[in-house]
Amino acid sequence: MGMIGYQWVKVLHLIFITSWFAGLFYLPRIFVNLAMDKDPQVQVRLIAMAQKLYRFMNILMIPALIFGLILWLYFGVGRSPGTGWMHAKLLLVIFLIGYHHMCGAMVKKFVAGTVTKSHVWFRWFNEVPVLLLTVIVILVIIKPF
């Protein structure tokens, strides 16, 4: 793959990352609403939405990670000297994957009716992907170290 292949992989990586983050931003917002609204009909609808969104997020996460790995391992992005930013980014991506799976665990807890967290807790939980995305974008664009 030459430069055109690199550009297509980069485009696909960005599309899947953006799509995955849309889910990471919205699913915890559903959790806020689930924690606030105890109407059984609303709960059923929101849980169904959360389950469908989480399944879709899984589908989006996998190619996002695969295209990122291709950029790193095949095209060598972040593999030259002076690319400490990539190590920091990869660490944050690991945290992001953990956050994604925490969301999946929360969906299961809502289904089981065992969630004990408040809507305020979920509001703070909802900010985690915003912070991770902010730092990751800074690392990738600015490359501070």
Report the amino acid identity of residue 30. I
Other beta carbons less than 10 A from residue 66's beta carbon: 14
Phi, psi at 75, each rounded to 5° = -90, -10
**Structure confidence by residue, pLDDT tens digits, 95-142:** 999 999 999 999 999 999 999 999 999 999 999 999 999 999 999 999
* pLDDT at site 54: 98
Would the pLDDT of 82 be above 90?
no
